[in-house]
Amino acid sequence: MDPVTIATVVAIGFIAKGAGQAAGEKLANDAYEKLKTILKRKFGEDSEVVKSVENLEARPESWGRKQTLEEEVEASGADQDPEVREAAQQLLDQLRAQPGGEQHIQNAVGSYIAQADRGSTAEVRVPARGIKP
């Protein structure tokens, strides 16, 4: 997921949880509003990327709407725009500064999946059929 989508999804979730009252939280809310303003100015208030942000605000837990936002960010080129990327990075920095803001969550479903985070390693070893380890 690109930084613009990540910042937007995290900020919407942050705001949906009722955060935003303390001074630090206000800075994060302001950074989110700045990102939305830039998206509206660059791509238009009725653009698909702006609509997808608004749709996700209405249902912040919707996985489908998060996917749509990611698609629209890519399709619009917002993820390549330097001003948009800078605003998204500022938003991510503000969100990381919040209590519990720096979190790493992984979720995997299926067989033979290995996950690693923050410089660690993981591997899956599957013995060949008929061969005892």
User: Does a structural domain hold residue 113?
Assistant: no
Tokens 């660690």 belong to 120
pLDDT of residue 74: 92
pLDDT of residue 55: 94
Phi and psi angles of residue 45, each rounded to the nearest 5 degrees, phi first: -65, -25
pLDDT of residue 72: 93
User: Does a structural domain hold residue 74?
Assistant: yes
pLDDT of residue 18: 60
Q: Which range marks the domain in which residue 30 is found?
A: 3-96
pLDDT of residue 111: 72
Cβ(12)–Cβ(56) under 8 Å? Answer: yes
- Per-residue pLDDT tens digits of the chain, which is 133 residues long: 778 888 888 888 777 666 545 555 777 788 889 999 999 999 999 999 999 999 999 998 899 999 999 999 999 999 999 999 999 988 888 888 776 665 555 556 667 777 666 666 777 777 667 666 5
pLDDT of residue 1: 75
DSSP-based three-state secondary structure for 20:
coil
When divided into structural domains, the chain yields a total of 1
pLDDT of residue 119: 67
pLDDT of residue 58: 92
What span, in angstroms and rounded, lies between the C-alpha atoms of 73 and 132?
A: 49
User: Does a structural domain hold residue 115?
Assistant: no
User: Does a structural domain hold residue 32?
Assistant: yes
User: Does a structural domain hold residue 89?
Assistant: yes
User: Does a structural domain hold residue 124?
Assistant: no
